[in-house]
Structure 1
């Protein structure tokens, strides 16, 4: 049986409708959760039943080195100006040869927070932009 190694967390792509931003340094926070609803039945029961509630999807945070491209910031600025544009996107993990292996799709996302870089004249780090997007649904796609 062939050995299957885990994929590396630094080989990934991000696709967002109509936005081609390369070079993301970090993508975090995506997943899903089902809220737990506790319900106590009548009678002699002293324990609560735990029932599934609403599904929740946390915000996704993207970080990238600043370039001349302002597409992601412009998407956020449009939302600030009352022109909310919901977009779908994907986070894709690649294998060592650059082939797509796993894809997480997110739906009806909009930029809820933008943070510019911190500057330090003594440092030599890359200037990093951060964008947080809020989505209504996420799923891991089947190959």
Structure 2
């Protein structure tokens, strides 16, 4: 029986072909001019469905079971050094102002050390729900880090990304 990726059932996995190692992350979204926003760290992609209990009774007595529950909105959390690019701040301001155009389609791409895309996720109607800057001390040499949490309606894996050349 053939499995996704052309593998046969019972075939051994080649870890060098199946594991994704990412050195860079970038985000592109609808209506964006000037390329993409790069990130140094992806702290998580979360997609979750609540489990609900279902109770029924019949001739055999009471039966308890679990059912699919409500979908929680998926989130993506990314970190990057603070620079002069105000794209995230402007986007978050649109959300704070309640602008309907603040929901945007996005593509989050994971690249290897050579800049080759290894995996991509399409975020449907995403918006930044949280934007924070790490603490700093005056006179310190630490880099200020911005952390953004994007919430969206749905996250889809882009299965066509493997082997595409980098955009820049």
Aligned length: 143
* Rounded Cα–Cα distance in structure 1 between residues aligned with 2:132 and 2:112: 31
Q: Which runs of 5+ in 1 are unaligned?
A: none
Misfit runs of 4+, over 6 Å: none
Out of 4, 17, 20, the residue aligned to residue 7 of structure 1 is 20
* Rounded Cα–Cα distance in structure 2 between residues aligned with 1:103 and 1:109: 15
TM-score normalised by length of structure 2 = 0.72
> Larger radius of gyration, structure 1 or 2?
2
User: Given the alignment of the two structures, is residue 106 of structure 1 paired with residue 106 of structure 2, yes or no?
Assistant: no
The one of the two structures with greater contact order (alpha-carbon pairs below 8 A, sep at least 6) is 1
* Rounded Cα–Cα distance in structure 2 between residues aligned with 1:45 and 1:125: 64
Over aligned residue pairs, what C-alpha RMSD do you find?
2.5
Pairwise CA distance, 1:21: 4.5
User: Given the alignment of the two structures, is residue 53 of structure 1 paired with residue 69 of structure 2, yes or no?
Assistant: yes
Pairwise CA distance, 1:105: 1.0
Q: Which runs of 5+ in 2 are unaligned?
A: 1-11, 161-168
Pairwise CA distance, 1:116: 2.1
* Rounded Cα–Cα distance in structure 1 between residues aligned with 2:106 and 2:155: 10
* Rounded Cα–Cα distance in structure 1 between residues aligned with 2:116 and 2:42: 19
CA contact (8 A) 1:23 1:65 kept: no
CA contact (8 A) 1:29 1:58 kept: no
Structure with bigger helix share is 2
TM-score normalised by length of structure 1 = 0.82
